[in-house]
């Protein structure tokens, strides 16, 4: 059974602070990990993906992966009100084009 777990929130963070979103997964065979952002009433849009242990930075976003502990996190620096959305963690088993298994998402609120 593939499971991806996220705290549903809401997670409230003041503007300008660092938002930290966490995700754990059950299948040790998972090879690639994705973070999607979903605004209310909209479809998910890809923010970042990570395959290797460690950190991967892209602008204000940093993805962190720890395969031994089976968790992946997303840090958002200098949080903006426009970052308020639901953040979905997704995991792919294997290295091909298999479908992603999604968590239920964390609702992030950035307080002005």
Partner 1 sequence: GAGVSQSPSNKVTEKGKDVELRCDPISGHTALYWYRQSLGQGLEFLIYFQGNSAPDKSGLPSDRFSAERTGGSVSTLTIQRTQQEDSAVYLCASSDGSGGNTIYFGEGSWLTVV
| CB nearer to partner 1: pick between 74 and 103 | 103
Does position 100 interact with partner 1 (CB under 8 A)? The reply is yes
Does position 77 interact with partner 1 (CB under 8 A)? The reply is no
| CB nearer to partner 1: pick between 51 and 55 | 51
- Output the 3-class SS for the chain: CCCEECCCCCEEEECCCCEEEEEEECCCCEEEEEEEEECCCCCCEEEEEECCCEEEEECCEEEEEECCCCEEEEEECCCCHHHCEEEEEEEEECCCCCCCEECCCEEEEEEC
Q: Which stretch binds partner 1 (CB under 8 A): 10-18, 56-64, 76-84, 100-108?
A: 100-108
Q: Which stretch binds partner 1 (CB under 8 A): 9-17, 22-30, 52-60, 91-99?
A: 91-99
Q: Torsions phi, psi of 38, nearest 5?
A: -130, 115
Considering the complex, what minimum distance in angstroms separates the CB of residue 24 from partner 1? 14
Does position 46 interact with partner 1 (CB under 8 A)? The reply is yes
Strands 106-111 and 11-14: parallel
Considering the complex, what minimum distance in angstroms separates the CB of residue 15 from partner 1? 26
| CB nearer to partner 1: pick between 50 and 110 | 50
């Amino acid at each position: 059974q593939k499971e991806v777990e996220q705290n549903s929130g809401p997670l409230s963070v003041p503007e300008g602070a660092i938002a930290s979103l966490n995700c754990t997964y059950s299948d040790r065979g998972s090879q690639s990990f994705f973070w999607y952002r979903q605004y209310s009433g909209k479809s998910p849009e890809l923010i970042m993906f990570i395959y290797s242990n460690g950190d991967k930075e892209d602008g204000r976003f940093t993805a962190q992966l720890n395969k031994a502990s089976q968790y992946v996190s997303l840090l958002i620096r200098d949080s903006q009100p426009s970052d308020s959305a639901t953040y979905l963690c997704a995991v792919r088993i294997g290295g091909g084009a298999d479908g992603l298994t999604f968590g239920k998402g964390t609702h992030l609120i950035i307080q002005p």
